[in-house]
Chain A
Amino acid sequence: DAGVTQSPTHLIKTRGQQVTLRCSPKSGHDTVSWYQQALGQGPQFIFQYYEEEERQRGNFPDRFSGHQFPNYSSELNVNALLLGDSALYLCASSPYFRDTYEQYFGPGTRLTVT
């Protein structure tokens, strides 16, 4: 059973550029959440997608946007990159049951902005 997969593994971008990160959820999961984890910090919630719509959003600017596809995979887009966007970006998937918080994380994409 394949777990959550993310691509690419590492990415180096320049300030002002745009980046797209990709996530495939665990088999049987239809909800995808994205988190940003700065060095030495816990993950911070960016947003969550279900049925191709953004259901919840954390305290992140509009430069962060996303998309979910009919096969439940998802993309995270970040525009006008800042040095402070350097972090590990984590995707987590879960089944859409009302009472579950069992979110399973992928290995992450490490983004470095120079």
Chain B
Amino acid sequence: QKEVEQDPGPLSVPEGAIVSLNCTYSNSAFQYFMWYRQYSRKGPELLMYTYSSGNKEDGRFTAQVDKSSKYISLFIRDSQPSDSATYLCSSGGSNYKLTFGKGTLLTVNP
């Protein structure tokens, strides 16, 4: 079992839709949870960073972590065509090493 599992999609939604992206993880030592956005042939861009369980909101983006179920979510409200990208979830413990999911390819259609 991979330490971080992510449905690769692809996911296609109309502009303005609410998007829900999800990951699960298996390592109980993970305490740090990140979402990255990666455009084609570019490096990942840090979107959200959370520590332990709870919610974090930044503009149209909300990250949720449920440590009891080892579930990580990213919600995008009022999705825009410019949100079309691959979204990567990642987790880490005390050793500063990030473990990534495979990424979910999202397309927002105008």
Contact = CB atoms under 8 A, between A and B. Distances in A.
Interface of A: 4, 31, 33, 35, 40-45, 48, 55-56, 58, 88, 90, 92, 94, 99, 101-108, 110
A107 B42 contact: yes
Contacts of B41: 88, 110
B101 A42 contact: yes
A30 to B, nearest CB: 12
Interface in B34-63: 34, 36, 41-46, 49, 51
B51 A56 contact: no
A110 B95 CA distance: 27
Given A42-B88, A42-B103, A101 B98 contact: yes
Top-7 shortest CB links A-B: A42-B100, A105-B43, A101-B32, A107-B43, A105-B44, A45-B97, A108-B43
Residue from the set A44, A101, A102, A110 with the largest chain B CB neighbour count within 10 Å: A101
A75 B32 CA distance: 27
B70 interface: no
Interface in B96-110: 96-103
Given A101-B32, A101-B92, A45 B45 contact: no
Interface of B: 4, 6, 8, 32, 34, 36, 41-46, 49, 51, 88, 90, 92, 95-103
A5 to B, nearest CB: 10
Contacts of B43: 4, 90, 105-108
Contact of A43 (B42, B45, B46, B100): B100
A105 B103 contact: no
A45 B42 contact: no
Residue from the set B100, B101, B102 with the largest chain A CB neighbour count within 10 Å: B100
Residue from the set B44, B46, B88 with the largest chain A CB neighbour count within 10 Å: B44
A31 B6 CA distance: 27
Contacts of A104: 46
A103 B46 contact: yes
A109 to B, nearest CB: 10
Given A42-B102, A42-B103, A43-B88, A56 B97 contact: yes
